């Protein structure tokens, strides 16, 4: 990008995108203070367009705009002085990071943060839509907030994150929880100041959810949680459309940040003394595919190696896009850690096909072999779904054998949860819950065994630990993670928090290691 474009605060790039006319779903809907049926009819009659999963699914060539000109309107700058905000975050790191951005915006508006709902002037629930139980938790919390809102009508209660991108969720809130002041989507975060203004000064519920998005806003403020580890978005959205997954609908099309913007952010974090960054995206291996020049995650990671920050991770990977160049670059080591989270979802090629994962068991094993050949000490972890529609006992057994064959050291395991609007939700969810639970239990037992086994390798070994703070269970014990993401507990002076230290492992457990401090801060190269 040239300086002129940067100064103008905006850059335009061609990428695949939705086909919705530019601003048609851009309008605010202000619909509080009405009966619930009125609300729904007003909702559908207004010029406002509800979140629309079909539109969210479309991908077509369209302009992507990169903005460098985020600013808080003059009249909203001091509006939060003397007031507090509380954001409750559900779901993945992407949401955690969005919360850091919202905290940054609110802080610039003068608000300070609180953990206490009864003390807050603004309460935001940053929601997750990935499985039904994630949504149930949020609806439970919405129920809890009602008495608080009745007691203190001035408090602004907002719902944001992935659930607000779902039409059915917005309908349900409109109908059943009209006390909510504000609903905004994952593409509308930068509009928070304007939305709060609407919620503050209007009488009606403010709803702003764009199902079309093309923008990357570069200069959003952030208040990061902690000064040791940081998340850095490298791309947004997902174009993979696995048949069970709602993310491509809630997070939109894949769009990559410009490499120089990412590099600059990481350099800045290094200069601030951060010790670890995790590059974030729903499918980081697709990074760069939408850029107008040849550039991928391999090239970006190679740039990361040149930055003086001790640890660089990335998540989450999709096996289909994991290319040889990336393997080659990670194998160079340095600050690139050889722990790879590589979601497989199932060990059965037939199930993988109906999940639209676009690889077979054999392809996955080939990729694992390539990775292990290049990095013999690599740690692999994964995500697995059990009880997908029509999954037979034999197909589940294939997941069990794959788990062993790869030697995953840990796995996030889930029972399949149909998500409205996704292809698989139209198929019969025909595996009885007892069978799903029984499969999950068996799988979890294997995951635990493999984790415990992997931990045993560290007995009496010296590991490098990035000390994050006091252990949750005992304030006299410090804890932190090794480069392979193993949690280590050990006694040491608190001034080591934020440093990388050597710890000798004296005891291994299923998920954690106990150690003894060997020496203070080490130079990590
Ligand atoms: N049901 C169960 N698990 C799911 N995941 C994504 N969608 C679903 C669903 N509908 C899991 C996948 C993914 C992880 C983040 O969540 O394993 O990798
Ligand atoms: Fe994150 Fe996906 Fe959950 Fe959204 S739905 S919070 S992107 S895990």
Domain that includes residue 503, residue range = 462-523
The first and second tokens of residue 9, run together, are: 């605060």
With a 6 A CB cut-off, is 130 part of the ligand 2 pocket? yes
CA distance 168 to 160: 14
Domain CATH number, residue 144: 3.40.50.12160
In a domain, 420, yes or no: no
Burial annotation 328-361 (CB, 10 A radius, 16+ → b, else e): ebbeeeebbbbbbbbbbbbbbbbbbebbebebeb
Tell the residue nearest (CA) to atom 7 of ligand 2. Answer: 247
Indicate left, alpha or beta for 118 from its phi (over 0: left) and psi (-120 to 50: alpha).
alpha
CA 424 / ligand 1 centre spacing (Å): 12
Q: Which ligand is nearest to the CA of 135?
A: 2
* pLDDT-flagged residues of the chain (< 50): 1-10, 12, 14-34, 42-47, 525
Q: Which ligand is nearest to the CA of 342?
A: 1
246 closest CA partner among 167, 352, 310: 167
Annotated binding residue at 245?
A: yes
| 248/131 same-domain check | no
Please tell me the predicted confidence (pLDDT) of residue 285: 97
| 159/264 same-domain check | no
In the block, residue with structure tokens 């997070």:
251
CA distance 376 to 31: 59
In a domain, 302, yes or no: yes
Ligand 2 test: best mutation among 56, 91, 101, most atoms within 8 Å of CB? 91
Query: Ligand 1: which atom is nearest the Cα of residue 412?
Result: 17
DSSP state of 345: B
Tell the residue nearest (CA) to atom 2 of ligand 1. Answer: 416
DSSP state of 484: T
With a 6 A CB cut-off, is 350 part of the ligand 1 pocket? no
Domain CATH number, residue 509: 2.40.50.140
With a 6 A CB cut-off, is 128 part of the ligand 2 pocket? yes
Query: Ligand 2: which atom is nearest the Cα of residue 95?
Result: 6
In a domain, 357, yes or no: no
Burial annotation 86-119 (CB, 10 A radius, 16+ → b, else e): bbbbbbbebbbbbbbbbbbbbbbbebeebeeeee
CA 432 / ligand 1 centre spacing (Å): 18
Instruction: Count how many domains the chain has.
Output: 3
| 292/206 same-domain check | no
In a domain, 283, yes or no: yes
Annotated binding residue at 160?
A: no
With a 6 A CB cut-off, is 414 part of the ligand 1 pocket? yes
CA distance 385 to 256: 28
| 54/111 same-domain check | yes
CA 161 / ligand 2 centre spacing (Å): 8
CA distances from 457 to 443, 446, 450, 454, 509 (A): 22, 17, 11, 6, 11
| 261/148 same-domain check | no
Please tell me the predicted confidence (pLDDT) of residue 29: 44
In a domain, 429, yes or no: no
In a domain, 486, yes or no: yes
With a 6 A CB cut-off, is 244 part of the ligand 1 pocket? yes
CA 502 / ligand 2 centre spacing (Å): 35
Using one digit for the tens of pLDDT, what is the confidence trace for 378-405?
999 999 999 999 999 999 999 999 999 9
CA 250 / ligand 1 centre spacing (Å): 14
CA distance 168 to 132: 13
Query: Ligand 1: which atom is nearest the Cα of residue 419?
Result: 10
Tell the residue nearest (CA) to atom 3 of ligand 2. Answer: 128
Please tell me the predicted confidence (pLDDT) of residue 46: 42
Please tell me the predicted confidence (pLDDT) of residue 203: 82
Tell the residue nearest (CA) to atom 1 of ligand 2. Answer: 92
In a domain, 440, yes or no: no
Cβ atoms within 10 Å, residue 54: 11
Containing H/E element for 140?
Answer: helix 132-151
CA 386 / ligand 1 centre spacing (Å): 10
Using one digit for the tens of pLDDT, what is the confidence trace for 5-42?
444 444 545 443 333 223 333 334 444 444 555 555 54
| 167/295 same-domain check | no
Of 159, 183, 216, the residue at which a domain comes to its end is 216
């Amino acid at each position: 990008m040239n300086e002129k474009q940067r100064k103008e605060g905006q850059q335009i790039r061609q990428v695949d995108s939705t086909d919705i006319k530019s601003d048609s779903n851009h309008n605010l809907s202000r619909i509080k203070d009405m009966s619930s049926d009125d609300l729904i009819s007003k909702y559908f009659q207004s010029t406002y367009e509800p979140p629309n999963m079909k539109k969210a699914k479309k991908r077509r060539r369209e302009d992507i705009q990169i903005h460098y000109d985020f600013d808080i309107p003059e009249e909203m700058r001091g509006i939060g002085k003397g007031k507090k905000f509380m954001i409750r975050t559900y779901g993945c790191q992407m949401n955690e990071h969005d919360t850091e951005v919202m905290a940054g915006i609110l802080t610039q508006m003068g608000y300070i943060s609180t953990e206490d709902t009864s003390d807050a002037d603004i309460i935001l629930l940053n929601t997750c839509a990935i499985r039904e139980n994630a949504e149930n938790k949020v609806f439970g919390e919405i129920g809890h907030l009602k008495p608080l809102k009745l007691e203190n009508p001035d408090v602004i209660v907002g719902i944001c994150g992935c659930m607000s991108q779902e039409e059915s969720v917005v309908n349900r809130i409109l109908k059943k929880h009209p006390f909510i002041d504000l609903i905004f989507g994952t593409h509308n975060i930068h509009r928070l100041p304007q939305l709060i203004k609407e919620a503050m000064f209007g009488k009606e519920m403010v709803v702003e959810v764009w199902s079309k998005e093309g923008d990357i806003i570069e200069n959003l403020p952030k208040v990061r949680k902690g000064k040791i580890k940081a998340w850095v978005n490298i791309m947004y959205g997902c174009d993979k459309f696995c048949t069970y997954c709602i993310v491509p609908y809630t997070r939109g099309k894949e769009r990559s940040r410009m490499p120089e913007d990412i590099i600059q952010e990481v350099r800045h974090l290094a200069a601030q003394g951060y010790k670890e960054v995790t590059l974030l995206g729903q499918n980081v291996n697709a990074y760069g595919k939408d850029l107008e020049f040849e550039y991928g995650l391999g090239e970006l990671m190679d740039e990361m190696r040149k930055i003086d920050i001790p640890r660089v991770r990335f998540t989450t990977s999709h096996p289909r896009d994991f290319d040889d160049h990336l393997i080659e670059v990670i194998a160079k080591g340095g600050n690139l850690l050889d722990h790879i989270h590589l979601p497989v979802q199932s060990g059965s090629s037939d199930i993988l096909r109906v999940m639209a994962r676009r690889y077979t068991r054999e392809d996955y094993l080939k990729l694992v072999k390539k990775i292990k050949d290049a990095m013999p000490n690599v740690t692999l972890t994964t995500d697995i779904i059990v009880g997908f529609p029509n999954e037979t006992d034999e197909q589940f057994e294939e997941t069990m054998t794959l788990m062993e064959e790869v030697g995953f050291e840990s796995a996030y395991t889930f029972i399949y949860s149909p998500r409205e609007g996704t292809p698989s939700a139209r198929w019969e969810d025909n595996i009885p819950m007892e069978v799903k639970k029984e499969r999950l239990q068996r799988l979890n037992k294997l995951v635990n065994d493999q984790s415990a086994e992997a931990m045993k390798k560290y007995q009496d070994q010296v590991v490098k630990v990035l000390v994050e703070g006091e252990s949750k269970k005992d304030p006299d014990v410090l804890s932190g993670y090794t480069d392979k993401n193993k949690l280590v507990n050990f006694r040491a002076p608190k001034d080591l928090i934020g440093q990388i230290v050597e710890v000798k492992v004296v005891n291994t457990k299923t998920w954690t290691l106990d150690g003894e401090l060997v020496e203070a801060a080490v130079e990590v190269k």
